[in-house]
């Protein structure tokens, strides 16, 4: 399993989102939230609701996404990421909608997005930001997805896996970057990717994937402004306590 196969499976049963949507709600800024956490002396952590992953299968059964997102906010998360890909990650747009109902911090839609109508869809289901994977687009296409996101007041999180992805993201005008430590072809983690790629993007940087303990978090935060953590929280018997340890920099 690799990112392109997941993308292809996502494209297969795709229907463009064609509902009319009123642009009334002003999304919260993930960039501001990251900067605020930093200014308060916390480790900026975006906590992810990720029921399953392609490699590990089920990580956690999420019966009440609102409850877990509230717990994450209480433990100091500066953002909540919600997987909406149904097949490999067992996510849903409904979870996104539920979590965004009582949002206290920005909510990120995490999916394999490729069509312009999915930007409006993300906004409609309550997203404040959305993930755009740089390698899925050419520079022009990525630029269009970014402009469309901004029309709804959302600053997208643009994910890079390589120098080439970084170049494309920069020339498309991205301001908020995720450096994914996971190889998109083999799904293997290499946490040093954060260190290697951080210099190729300028703006707000988030290190994503494979962060399992406060030591690794400290390491990636030398090069990035924030970290995105999913599996470690999902698999923990005490997700809120673990998140608190990440945010406050304590040991377990
Ligand atoms: O569970 P982890 O290793 O903490 O990783 C979280 C997040 O980075 C990962 O879920 C992710 C990063 N980019 C993605 C793109 C699509 C789906 C999932 C992802």
Give the pLDDT of residue 13. Answer: 84
Q: Which of 122, 157, 182 to mutate to test the pocket of ligand 1 (most atoms within 8 A of CB)?
A: 182
Q: H or E element: which one contains 240? A: helix 239-248
Give the pLDDT of residue 251. Answer: 65
Give the pLDDT of residue 250. Answer: 72
Query: Per-residue pLDDT averaged across 166-174, rounded?
Result: 98
- Measured CA to CA, the distance from residue 146 to residue 151 in angstroms comes to 9
pTM of the prediction? 0.98
Tokens of 114: 């490729």
CA triple 205-225-23, angle to 5 deg: 65
How many CB atoms are closer than 10 A to CB 250?
10
Q: Is the CB of 113 under 6 A from ligand 1?
A: no
- Measured CA to CA, the distance from residue 126 to residue 106 in angstroms comes to 10
Percentage of residues of the chain with pLDDT beyond 90: 98
Query: Per-residue pLDDT averaged across 216-242, rounded?
Result: 97
As to burial, measured by CB atoms within 10 angstroms (0-12 exposed, 13-18 middle, 19+ buried), residue 89 is buried
Say if residue 142's pLDDT is above 80. yes
- Measured CA to CA, the distance from residue 11 to residue 129 in angstroms comes to 21
Q: Is the CB of 50 under 6 A from ligand 1?
A: yes
Counting from 1 in the atom list of ligand 1, the atom nearest the Cα of 233 is 4
Counting from 1 in the atom list of ligand 1, the atom nearest the Cα of 111 is 16
Say if residue 182's pLDDT is above 90. yes
Query: Per-residue pLDDT averaged across 113-129, rounded?
Result: 98
Instruction: Name the nearest CA neighbour of 73 among 52, 91, 42, 46.
Output: 46
Query: Per-residue pLDDT averaged across 165-179, rounded?
Result: 98
Say if residue 252's pLDDT is above 80. no
Chain segment 77-109, per-residue pLDDT in tens: 999 999 999 999 999 999 999 999 989 999 999
CA dihedral 243, 57, 114, 127 (to 10 degrees): -30
Q: Is the CB of 110 under 6 A from ligand 1?
A: yes
What is the domain partition of the chain in residue ranges? 3-11+42-248
Counting from 1 in the atom list of ligand 1, the atom nearest the Cα of 50 is 10
Classified by CATH at the fold level, domain 3-11+42-248 comes out as TIM Barrel (3.20.20)
CA of 108 to the centre of ligand 1 (A): 12
Q: Which of 209, 211, 239 to mutate to test the pocket of ligand 1 (most atoms within 8 A of CB)?
A: 209
CA of 229 to the centre of ligand 1 (A): 8
Chain segment 7-19, per-residue pLDDT in tens: 999 999 899 999 9
**How far is the CA of 87 from the CAs of 5, 90, 179, in angstroms?**
12, 5, 24
Query: Which residue has a Cα nearest atom 14 of ligand 1?
Result: 110
């Amino acid at each position: 399993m690799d990112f392109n196969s997941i993308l292809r499976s996502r494209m297969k049963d795709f229907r463009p989102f064609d509902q009319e949507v009123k642009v009334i709600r002003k999304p919260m800024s993930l960039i501001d939230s990251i900067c605020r956490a930093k200014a308060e002396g916390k480790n900026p952590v975006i906590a992810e609701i990720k029921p399953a992953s392609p490699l590990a299968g089920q990580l956690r059964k999420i019966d009440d996404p609102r409850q877990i997102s509230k717990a994450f906010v209480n433990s100091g998360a500066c953002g909540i990421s919600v997987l909406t890909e149904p097949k490999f990650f067992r996510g849903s747009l409904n979870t996104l909608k539920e979590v965004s109902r009582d949002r206290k911090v920005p909510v990120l839609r995490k999916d394999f997005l490729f069509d312009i109508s999915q930007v409006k869809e993300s906004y409609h289901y309550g997203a404040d930001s959305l993930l755009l994977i740089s390698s899925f687009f050419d520079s022009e296409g990525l630029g269009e997805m970014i402009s469309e996101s901004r029309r709804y007041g959302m600053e997208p999180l643009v994910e890079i896996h390589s120098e080439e992805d970084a170049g494309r993201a920069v020339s498309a005008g991205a301001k908020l970057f995720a450096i994914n430590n996971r190889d998109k072809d083999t799904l293997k983690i290499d946490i040093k990717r954060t260190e290697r790629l951080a210099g190729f993007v300028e703006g707000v940087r988030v290190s994503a994937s494979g962060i399992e303990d406060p030591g690794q978090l400290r390491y990636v935060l030398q090069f990035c402004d924030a970290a995105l953590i999913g599996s470690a929280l999902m698999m923990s018997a005490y997700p809120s306590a673990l998140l608190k340890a990440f945010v406050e920099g304590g040991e377990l």
